[in-house]
Amino acid sequence: MSVPTDLVDRVRSRLASSGLEITSAEVARAVREEAGGVVGDADVLEALRLMRQEFVGAGPLDPLLRAPGTTDVLVTGPDQVWLDGDGGLRRTDVTFPDEDAVRRLAQRLALICGRRLDDAQPFVDAWLPAGALGRVRLHAVLPPIAPDGTCLSLRVLRRAGHDLDSLRELGTFDKRTHDILEAIVDARLAFVVTGGTGAGKTSLLSALLGRVDHSERIITVEDAGELQPDHPQFVRLIARPPNVEGAGEVTLADLVRQGLRMRPDRIVVGEVRGAEVCDLLTALNTGHDGGAGTVHANSPAELPARMEALAALGGLTREALHSQLAAAFQVVLHMRRHPDGTRHLDEIGVLTRTHSGVHVAPATNEALGALLKPRGVEPPC
């Protein structure tokens, strides 16, 4: 069915210039008033459908975001809409009329987040307000930065319902590994979760924090507010980007320092990605046992090199980083995502200090026993 182009343009202009909150009711009213009996009922209904897609929610992406198991919705062109989640990455049959429609959706979603997306600021990374879709992280890039057209990435974060038991039932790890993880938390060993994007680092970290004794106070510092452990003494601090004038920024490093003043028993950085690693290591070397964080790394063995690169941003030398790292963390947990979408705890490592620096070795029974027994926790058989 073909809707008159001038009708769609008139409705779009009316809604864009109204200054009102664009709801389904406002869209319907604008379509009825602009149609004015000139076009048929079927055309009015089709125009209403098109305008709702453009101005309400995430448009044609809404059904994908609402589907159970969806983790990411990715748009790389008007006819290139991809879905990631249970079953892995796959192309959908959802399409946009043209490149302008993708760009308009990206700009509208950025505006909802209170962010700017235009030729002067051609990329955005922000969180959509929490609503029926749960929490959705928006990333968009406009041409000419993305020369083939607007790229839109939406990551869905639903409230984690997984504790260690349910993760084991999902096949993330086996019974013995489950017991090792509980022992690591009970012994208040500091640990870091590594892995790639979408590997399940946050889900595992949330489950581990849910295991922490309820008498302990957990302070988490995050860039995006993804951690939601089932714990009564959980306090979350979230970083803030600068506004359009470039003012008002609150960094992770700022929040780590604030978290230390809030009487934490454990301090956690949701994702270490920059100079805040220096503040985290300092915090974990001042008597705060059981701290944790996540870091993007390809394997546990590559963690020291990754931390070196991040610490350099904060002016920390290699020697100083290795010295603090060896004292701050004891265990590395590496998550891996497989092509079919499943996620597994692939490897557990322990940090060891050598004459050349810190290395990560496989967590043998002897190595785990050396860490757990001095803290009064028996290693699992």
Tokens 């963690």 found at? 303
Q: At what angle do helices 276-284 and 303-313 cross, to 10 degrees?
A: 110
For 186, left (φ over 0), alpha (ψ -120 to 50), or beta? alpha
Query: Which pLDDT score is estimated for 241?
Result: 78
Mapping DSSP onto H, E and C, the string for the chain reads CCCCHHHHHHHHHHHHHHCCCCCHHHHHHHHHHHHCCCCCHHHHHHHHHHHHHHHCCCHHHHHHHHCCCEEEEEEEECCEEEEEECCCCEECCCCCCCHHHHHHHHHHHHHHCCCCCCCCCCEEEEECCCECCEEEEEEEECCCCCCCCCEEEEEEECCCCCCHHHHHHCCCCCHHHHHHHHHHHHCCCCEEEEECCCCCHHHHHHHHHHCCCCCCCEEEEECCCCCCCCCCCEEEEECECCCCCCCCCECHHHHHHHHCCCCCCEEEECCCCCCHHHHHHHHHCCCCCCCEEEEECCCHHHHHHHHHHHHHHCCCCHHHHHHHHHHHCCEEEEEEECCCCCEEEEEEEEEEEECCEEEEEECCHHHHHHHHHHHCCCCCC
Per-10-residue mean pLDDT for the chain, 381 residues long? 60 64 67 64 61 66 87 94 88 92 89 84 84 76 95 81 87 95 96 90 93 95 83 91 79 87 91 82 82 91 91 89 90 92 93 88 93 92 72
Query: What whole-number distance in Å separates Cα of residue 333 and Cα of residue 348?
Result: 5
- Residue 194 class from Cβ within 10 Å (0-12 exposed, 13-18 middle, 19+ buried)? buried
Query: Which pLDDT score is estimated for 4?
Result: 56
Pairing between β-strand 70-77 and β-strand 80-85 as defined by DSSP bridges: antiparallel
Measured in degrees and rounded to the nearest 5, phi and psi for residue 335 equal -100, 145
Query: Which pLDDT score is estimated for 1?
Result: 46
Q: Which of 358, 200, 357 is nearest to 294 (CA)?
A: 200
Q: Say if CB 151 and CB 352 are below 8 A apart.
A: no
- Residue 265 class from Cβ within 10 Å (0-12 exposed, 13-18 middle, 19+ buried)? middle
Residue 40, Cβ neighbours under 10 Å: how many? Answer: 11
Query: Which pLDDT score is estimated for 346?
Result: 95
Pairing between β-strand 135-141 and β-strand 123-127 as defined by DSSP bridges: antiparallel
pTM equals 0.76
Q: CA quadruple 12, 14, 20, 23: dihedral positive or negative?
A: negative
Rg of the chain (C-alpha set): 24
Query: What whole-number distance in Å separates Cα of residue 233 and Cα of residue 226?
Result: 17
